[in-house]
């Protein structure tokens, strides 16, 4: 693919101070339309990549081929560039400028508090209606669930969306997803219980600290704007190891990319979320396989974070890991703070794949957790089945999904 003939249209964009700011190209594919690929080289936050192909790899093979051509001197400077390149670079510049302005502009705390109070009143009315609806579901009994059409659940979800409680609406839409097997009543009851816990916690006025209140707001669907986080959020300076990315879906069909980071000194976890439409390539704030030195601004829930400024990048060093027991203890603490967590990052030391009816990842003590096989063969190809330090995302429903591996010499491989 890294041949001039595969790229009938390509070029570079000059930087203000000389050199190359961006590389772009249109690669011939199997379809009638070419793949549109571009790399922003001097955006102040490390390289950024864009491609119209559906690959989940970041960067994808088209971007790598384009960079290979450019590094070999096969891509020439072009005075004019396509509109899609202009739009992408302009959008990146605008977002960077907005972030800089937001960081420099103080937020009026009284105005923010008033806006939040008004939003919470609207949401509270919807959550109160949800409480009554949940009681009706329990009164009707779980035996009725298989007979219910999807519209039964969708009506309540739409009512919550109207009340600006999109997070709670997403939990309602999950209720009819029973799955097969004889244990579906357990799964439905669990989801009803989590919804009841959310309702009870959100409507409670006593005994809820500010951090828990922030988690509840986030889970019902009250988000904090990035500008507010950059202006007044808690800031933590550290060397942040990027331990991996995992892709998922939102209830409304949007795709999201979770990026997990861990502070080398603070030992604190941080999560960044990147939302994108199906068919688009995400633009995460951090690449895999690196660590960055600088500040992160945290949302009120204390977990989700925002990149604040340019950071120093270098290859990621091996983090300290633990055994399976320590990983589950970490997950239990996180679940106590946020019972609606879908996944949690863990780092296992000297962990190796093992098979007994299904695949597991076992520590040196023989304790093991089931593996999601999405990255299994890449894992085996890299390690040969030998023990390694593994950064993975843990979910009781899907198991462990390895994201990054470190061999005995400390070399990192992003899966």
Tell me whether residue 311 is in a domain: yes
Do 125 and 152 lie in a common domain?
yes
Do 180 and 206 lie in a common domain?
yes
Structure tokens at 273: 């979320």
Tell me whether residue 167 is in a domain: yes
Q: In terms of pTM, does the model score above 0.85?
A: no
Number of Cβ atoms within 10 Å of the Cβ of 136:
10
Predicted pLDDT at 272: 94
Q: What is the pLDDT of residues 117-151, one digit of tens each?
A: 888 888 999 999 999 999 999 898 888 888 888 88
What SS3 class is residue 78? coil
CA distance 143 to 147: 8
Domain boundary among 54, 81, 104: 104
Do 100 and 113 lie in a common domain?
no
For the domain that residue 288 is a member of, what is the CATH number? Answer: 2.40.50
Domain boundary among 194, 219, 244: 219
Of how many residues is the chain composed?
415
Tell me whether residue 225 is in a domain: no
Q: Compare 338 and 277 and report the one with higher pLDDT.
A: 338
What confidence category does residue 95 fall into, taking pLDDT thresholds of 50, 70 and 90? confident
Predicted pLDDT at 200: 93
Indicate if the alpha-carbon torsion angle 99, 100, 103, 109 is positive or negative.
negative
Tell me whether residue 271 is in a domain: yes
Beta strands in 193-343 (DSSP E): 234-249, 255-263, 269-276, 290-298, 305-307, 312-315
Alpha helix ranges (H) inside 291-410:
324-337, 376-383
Q: What is the pLDDT of residues 44-57, one digit of tens each?
A: 556 788 898 887 67
Tell me whether residue 340 is in a domain: yes
Do 214 and 113 lie in a common domain?
yes
Mean pLDDT, rounded, of the chain? 87
What domain count does the chain have?
Answer: 4
Tell me whether residue 54 is in a domain: yes
Average pLDDT over residues 181-186: 78
What confidence category does residue 287 fall into, taking pLDDT thresholds of 50, 70 and 90? confident
Backbone angles phi, psi at 348, to 5 degrees: -105, 135
Do 115 and 189 lie in a common domain?
yes
Tell me whether residue 224 is in a domain: no
DSSP 11-48: EEEE-TTSSEEEEEEEE--SSSSPEEEEEES-SSSS-E
CA distance 275 to 258: 9
> Residue 206 belongs to what domain range?
109-219
Do 305 and 244 lie in a common domain?
yes
Do 212 and 113 lie in a common domain?
yes
In percent, how much of the chain has pLDDT > 70?
93
Do 300 and 363 lie in a common domain?
no
Do 306 and 331 lie in a common domain?
no
Do 275 and 173 lie in a common domain?
no
Predicted pLDDT at 18: 65
Alpha helix ranges (H) inside 182-225:
184-203, 210-220
Whether the pLDDT of residue 93 is over 90: the answer is no
Domain boundary among 61, 82, 104: 104
Predicted pLDDT at 143: 84
């Amino acid at each position: 693919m890294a041949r001039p003939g595969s790229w009938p249209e390509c070029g570079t964009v000059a930087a203000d101070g000389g050199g190359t700011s961006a590389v772009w190209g249109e690669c011939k594919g199997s379809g009638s339309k070419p793949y549109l690929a571009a790399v922003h080289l001097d955006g102040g936050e490390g390289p950024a990549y864009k491609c119209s192909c559906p690959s989940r790899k970041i960067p994808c093979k088209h971007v790598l081929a384009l960079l290979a051509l450019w590094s070999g001197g096969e891509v020439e400077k072009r005075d004019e560039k396509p509109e899609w390149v202009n739009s992408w670079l302009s959008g990146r510049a605008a977002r960077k400028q907005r972030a800089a302005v937001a960081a420099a502009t103080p937020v009026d705390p009284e105005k923010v508090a008033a806006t939040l109070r008004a939003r919470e009143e609207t949401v509270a009315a919807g959550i109160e209606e949800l409480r009554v609806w949940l009681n009706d579901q329990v009164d009707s009994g779980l035996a009725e669930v298989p007979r219910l059409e999807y519209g039964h659940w969708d009506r309540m979800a739409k009512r919550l969306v109207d009340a600006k409680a999109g997070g709670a609406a997403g939990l309602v839409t999950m209720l009819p997803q029973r799955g097969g097997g004889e244990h579906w009543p357990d799964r439905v009851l669990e989801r009803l219980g989590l919804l009841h816990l959310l309702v009870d916690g959100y409507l409670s006025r006593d005994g809820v600290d500010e951090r828990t209140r922030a988690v509840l707001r986030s889970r019902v669907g009250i988000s904090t704007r990035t500008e507010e986080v950059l202006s007044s959020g808690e800031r933590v300076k550290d060397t942040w190891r990027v331990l991996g990315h995992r892709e998922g879906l939102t209830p409304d069909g949007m795709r999201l990319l979770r990026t997990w980071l861990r502070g080398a000194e603070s030992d604190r976890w941080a999560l960044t979320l990147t939302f994108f439409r199906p068919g688009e390539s995400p633009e995460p704030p951090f690449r895999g396989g690196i660590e960055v030195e600088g500040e992160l601004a945290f949302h009120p829930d204390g977990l989700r974070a925002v990149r604040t400024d340019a950071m120093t990048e270098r290859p990621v060093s091996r983090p300290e890991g633990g055994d399976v027991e320590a990983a589950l203890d970490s997950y239990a603490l996180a679940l106590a703070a946020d019972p609606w967590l879908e996944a949690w990052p863990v780092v296992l030391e000297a962990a190796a794949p093992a098979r007994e009816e299904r695949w597991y990842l076992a520590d040196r003590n023989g304790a093991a957790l089931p593996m999601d096989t999405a990255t299994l063969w890449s894992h085996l190809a890299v390690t040969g089945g030998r023990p390694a330090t593994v950064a993975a995302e843990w979910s009781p429903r899907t198991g462990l999904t390895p994201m990054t591996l470190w061999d005995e010499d400390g070399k990192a491989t992003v899966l």
